[in-house]
Amino acid sequence: MLDVDVLDHMVIGQGRWVSLKERGLGFA
C-alpha cells in the first residue's frame, strides 16, 4: 500500500503520529 508508505513519511515529518507508530498502532 503506497498510501501507507506516504503517510509513514508524513507521520515521521509531523512527529505527532510518531507516538502512535511507536506504540505499534501504525496503519496496519
Residue ranges of domains in the chain: 1-27
Residues 21 and 8: beta-carbon distance below 8 Å: yes
The secondary structure of residue 26, as a DSSP letter, is S
pLDDT of residue 3: 72
Residues 18 and 11: beta-carbon distance below 8 Å: yes
Write the secondary structure of the chain as one string of H (helix), E (strand) and C (coil): CHHHHHHHHHHHHHCHHHHHHHHCCCCC
pLDDT of residue 7: 64
User: How would you write the pLDDT of the chain (28 residues) with one tens digit per residue?
Assistant: 567 676 666 655 556 666 666 666 655 5
pLDDT of residue 5: 72
